[in-house]
């Protein structure tokens, strides 16, 4: 006696939500506007385009600044003076530029500060300036250079 079992194939089940507009509305399922692309992909592409553009702009803007100053050297003249040598490059020579120079002591306290005005029409220059100090200074630096 041989037992033969036959497997019955079931009809593929469908979700009732897919075809019933009432159930779709009841459970808040809306049809996708862009059925080809998922929403997260469109959002990711949009963010990457905006972010990439911003990165390119900042890279260009900060690589080529309006005013570029570079500290070359400094040396102590005496206990009340320190000399600083620096170079400056200005994109627009028709603007008035002021560089703030500072002298610091061993504990990095500012012991002297001076504003050095760059003459109009200067495109690039190497400046040597003495900074008067109230105590002995061990280093000097360019705090900032800005236009008026």
| Domains of the chain, residue spans | 16-63, 67-147
Is the pLDDT higher at 148 or at 36? 148
Question: Residue 5 belongs to what H/E stretch?
Answer: none
* DSSP, res 11: P
Distance CA 58, CA 66 (A): 13
- The string of pLDDT tens digits covering residues 75-129 is 999 989 999 999 999 998 898 999 999 999 999 999 999 999 999 999 999 999 9
As a whole number, mean pLDDT of residues 59-85 equals 92
Rounded to two decimals, the pTM is 0.64
Evaluated on CA atoms 34, 38, 39, 45, the torsion sign reads negative
The CATH number given to 67-147 is 2.60.40
Task: Write the pLDDT tens digit of every residue in 136-146.
Answer: 999 999 999 99
Both tokens of 53, joined, read 């553009």
CB-CB contact of 89 with 123 (8 Å):
yes
On the question of pLDDT at 65 being above 80, the answer is yes
């Amino acid at each position: 006696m041989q037992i033969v079992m036959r497997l019955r194939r079931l009809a593929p089940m469908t979700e009732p939500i897919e075809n019933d507009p009432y159930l779709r509305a009841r459970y808040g399922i809306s049809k996708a506007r862009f059925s080809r692309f998922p929403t997260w992909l469109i959002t990711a592409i949009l963010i990457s385009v905006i972010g990439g553009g911003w990165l390119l702009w900042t890279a260009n803007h900060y690589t080529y600044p309006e005013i570029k100053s570079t500290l070359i050297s400094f040396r102590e003249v005496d206990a009340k003076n320190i000399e600083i040598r620096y170079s400056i490059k200005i994109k627009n020579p028709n603007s008035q530029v002021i560089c703030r120079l500072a002298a610091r002591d061993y504990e990095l306290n500012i012991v002297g500060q001076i504003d050095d005005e760059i003459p109009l029409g200067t495109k690039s220059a190497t400046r040597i300036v003495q900074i008067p100090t109230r105590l002995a200074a061990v280093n000097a630096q360019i705090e900032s250079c800005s236009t008026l």
